[in-house]
């Protein structure tokens, strides 16, 4: 009898464990409106009020696999919940510094928050989960000053990150180069004839542009069509105007261009903000 009881207990533990793994709501609590929530970090203090601005890091996934909102820092405005079990009901429960997950109705969320019906690849039974960290919140009247502060901090952080990434890239790839006074790195791979172009002259070049991760975003070589521009008068990014002046006719080399000599903190097309660029360049003629 004792063995039977132990065996029954063992099966009970196994089935409970399996149910926990298979149930996406396991470990979550549920509000009376139907919102499932789980806190990972919970602090004390005030909760956001309606119309407050929320500084959050937020992501949204369906079935823990499909990204609806990639993990990103953003500013949201606190509003009244628009349906029972709304995402904003969960935000209202949070304090500064809290992090939590909220499971919401997929159909209602698509309709009210995203303004569309559920895409055909999903159903009402799919699990939509918001992961949120509430960094801060403040009244709408403080938005301008907070945005300026946020932009300054972001600029400093991203600048330091970009500089570290470039330095690490040069070190890891054993690239021995000295930057110019502006921060441009140039490594020659083939000598030219020694004659360098002057400001205002039209130059003809071949190039391939890449990000630090090796992604090619543009190439005149692939198009089999050299690129022409007037040197030193701002028709191209500053790193190019400076770099091509270092070259002589027939010379080949590589520019390592920090973001502030390229497309800055805004980026352009496939080039993200604060991106260091690598250009393999040949000065064909001028």
Active-site residue set = 207, 217-218, 237, 263, 279
Structure tokens at 217: 């975003």
What is the 3-state composition of the chain as percent helix, strand, coil, each rounded to the nearest 5? 30, 30, 40
Nearest to 93 by CA among 67, 119, 130, 65: 130
What is the distance between the alpha carbons of residues 183 and 178, in angstroms, rounded to a whole number? Answer: 9
Sequence-distant (6+) residues with CB within 8 A of 229 are 202, 203, 235, 236, 240
SS3 14: helix
Beta-bridged to residue 285, according to DSSP, are: 204
Pair of tokens at residue 96: 């500064």
């Amino acid at each position: 009898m004792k063995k039977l009881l132990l065996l029954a207990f063992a099966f009970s533990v196994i089935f409970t464990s399996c149910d926990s793994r298979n149930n996406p709501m396991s470990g979550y609590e549920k509000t009376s409106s139907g919102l499932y929530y789980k806190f990972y970090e919970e602090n004390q203090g005030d909760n956001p009020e309606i119309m407050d601005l929320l500084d959050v890091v937020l992501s949204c996934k369906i079935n823990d696999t499909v990204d609806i909102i990639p993990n990103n820092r953003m500013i949201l405005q606190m509003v009244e919940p628009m349906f029972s079990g709304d995402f904003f009901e969960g935000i209202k429960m949070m304090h500064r510094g809290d992090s939590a997950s909220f499971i919401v109705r997929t159909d209602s969320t698509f309709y009210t928050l995203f303004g569309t019906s559920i895409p055909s690849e999903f159903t009402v039974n799919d699990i939509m989960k918001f992961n949120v960290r509430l960094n801060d919140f403040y009244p709408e009247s403080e938005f301008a000053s907070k945005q300026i502060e946020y932009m300054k901090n972001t600029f400093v952080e991203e600048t330091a990150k970009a500089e570290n990434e470039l330095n690490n890239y040069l070190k890891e790839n054993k690239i021995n180069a000295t930057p110019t006074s502006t921060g441009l790195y140039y490594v020659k791979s083939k000598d030219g004839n020694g004659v360098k172009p002057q400001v205002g002259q039209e130059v003809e070049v071949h190039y391939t542009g890449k990000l630090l991760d090796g992604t090619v975003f543009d190439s005149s070589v692939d198009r089999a069509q050299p690129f022409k521009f007037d040197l030193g008068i701002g028709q191209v990014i500053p790193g190019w105007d400076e770099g091509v002046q270092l070259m002589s006719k027939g010379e080949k080399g590589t520019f390592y261009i920090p973001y502030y000599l390229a497309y800055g903190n805004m980026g352009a097309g496939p080039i993200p903000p604060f991106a260091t660029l690598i250009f393999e360049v040949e000065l064909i003629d001028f």
